[in-house]
Amino acid sequence: MNVDILTHEKSISKTRARMAIADCDIHPSPKSVEIEIFPFLSKRWQEYMKTYGVIYRQGFPTGPAFPKGQPNAARRDSYPTSGGKPGSDLAFMQSQHLGPNNIQLGVLNPLQCAQGVQNQDFSAAYCNAVNQWQIEQWTSKDHRLKASLMVPYEDPLASVKEIEKWAGNEHFIQVLLLSRTAEPLGQRKYWPIYDAACRAGLPVAVHAFGYGGAPVTGGGWPSFYIEEMVGHAQNTQSLLTSMVIEGVFEKFPTLKLILIEAGFAWLPALSWRLDKLWDRMRDEIPHVSRPPSQLIREHVWLTTQPMEEPEETNQLLDTIEWIGWENLLFATDYPHWDYDDPSRAMPIKIGKQQKEGFFLNNALKLYGLDQ
């Protein structure tokens, strides 16, 4: 909300130099789908969308299965002064977030639109439109921002076409999937996507959320939004387990996987569990030739937000050490409510090199932007 400021002292401008930040999870929205996205959709799909809306594998066409904690899951202070949804106004994003936080690289992850849509032809057309829109409205106007290549992942062949269409385009720095797929992401159905991403030299990023049809727990649907929110971490564990055990990283040795917005503190325990099972179950999964923890360390990066907050903050350092400092990518999730602030998210003093890696260099290196 806008706040009346009743102040008679000159605001002391904060001149303290802030370190440069890579924010690996920013969510842009169109001000209006009709105005901003329709120009990139054929008449056929414009009419289809007007008539049938966008149908996902969940019951409500206009909102999530679990109503969020606050409207649009957005920070209350992120509504642009010009009106419209949070994340829909570049100038406001620049003045509220990119500038003050010294964001040198901002990775755009458009959500809640084209992916996981049941009509696969529509999903493909919509993804393509959102890809064009990202360049038109965002990345061509602010070079700190980079786009995610949206693919209609339930139709891997269409996804491959979309990747091939944009391969080599400097605006796109990763292929984006959502985590709640119809089948576990390690399954062979999805392999053409990994193949195409590797050929295009792009990492594959998987952002928490979406609807694949299965309940968010193996034991049915919970009652509360908080359970679904927390459940994204378990969901991400399942997809990572699938990719490791199906042998995706052995089949695609150059594949880089980025797990977005699922937290990270769960990873050590999962790696230890998979290592133990791998040792015991070698006869079932002989195609996995190395311990899962090694494959994960070499192929998987995680964005940090929402950072887990242990009671003893130094326990977070244990956890990061067990994951590997170089495997974490800082993210704010702007403009969403569970945003992590760059100046406060890391509650402990860490060394300069670790800090620069955590907040910037790991991402630059991963995306090949460090040259």
Nearer to another protein, 41 or 300 (CB): 300
Non-local CB neighbours of 357 within 8 Å, separated by 6+ positions: 325, 326
Give the nearest distance from C-beta 316 to another protein in angstroms: 8
Q: The tokens of 172 are what?
A: 């796109």
Q: Show the site string, 234-273: x = touches another protein by CB under 8 A, - = not.
A: xx-xxx-xx--xx----------------x-xx-xxx-xx
Out of 20, 135, 167, 214, the only residue in the binding site for another protein (CB under 8 A) is 214
Nearer to another protein, 46 or 102 (CB): 102
- Candidates 26, 87, 14, 104; CA nearest to 359 is 104
Q: Which of residues 192-211 bind another protein (CB under 8 A)?
A: none
As a whole number of angstroms, the longest Cα–Cα distance in the chain is 74
Residue type at 346?
A: M
Nearer to another protein, 48 or 190 (CB): 190
The CB density around residue 322, as the number of other CB atoms within 10 Å, is 14
Out of 276, 290, 294, 353, the only residue in the binding site for another protein (CB under 8 A) is 276
Out of 59, 220, 286, 351, the only residue in the binding site for another protein (CB under 8 A) is 220
Residue 289 as a binder of another protein (CB under 8 A): the answer is no
Nearer to another protein, 46 or 187 (CB): 187
Angstrom CA distances, 332 to 42, 82, 135, 195, stand at 34, 23, 21, 30
Out of 226, 290, 368, 370, the only residue in the binding site for another protein (CB under 8 A) is 226
Give the nearest distance from C-beta 281 to another protein in angstroms: 4
Chain centre to alpha carbon of residue 281: 32
Strand 21-26: give its sheet, edge to edge. 21-26, 103-108, 145-150, 172-178, 204-207, 257-260, 300-303, 328-329
Q: Which of residues 309-328 bind another protein (CB under 8 A)?
A: 309-312, 315, 318-319, 322
Q: How far apart are CA 303 and CA 56, in angstroms?
A: 26
Q: Which of residues 51-70 bind another protein (CB under 8 A)?
A: 69-70
Q: Which of residues 12-41 bind another protein (CB under 8 A)?
A: 12
Q: Are strands 328-329 and 300-303 parallel, antiparallel or unpaired?
A: parallel
Q: The tokens of 239 are what?
A: 């997809």
Nearer to another protein, 47 or 321 (CB): 321
Q: How far apart are CA 302 and CA 324, in angstroms?
A: 10
Segment near another protein (CB under 8 A); pick from 132-140, 159-167, 191-199, 233-241:
233-241
Cite the beta strand spans of 41-126 per DSSP E. Answer: 103-108
Q: How far apart are CA 246 and CA 243, in angstroms?
A: 5
- 303 in Cβ contact with 208 (< 8 Å): no
Out of 16, 43, 280, 352, the only residue in the binding site for another protein (CB under 8 A) is 280
Residue 155 as a binder of another protein (CB under 8 A): the answer is no
Question: What residues form DSSP beta bridges with 105?
Answer: 22
Q: Show the site string, 166-185: x = touches another protein by CB under 8 A, - = not.
A: -------------xxxxxxx
Segment near another protein (CB under 8 A); pick from 43-51, 131-139, 143-151, 333-341:
333-341
Nearer to another protein, 162 or 340 (CB): 340
Residue 213 as a binder of another protein (CB under 8 A): the answer is yes
Out of 13, 51, 62, 223, the only residue in the binding site for another protein (CB under 8 A) is 223
CA angle 109, 115, 119 (to 5 degrees): 160
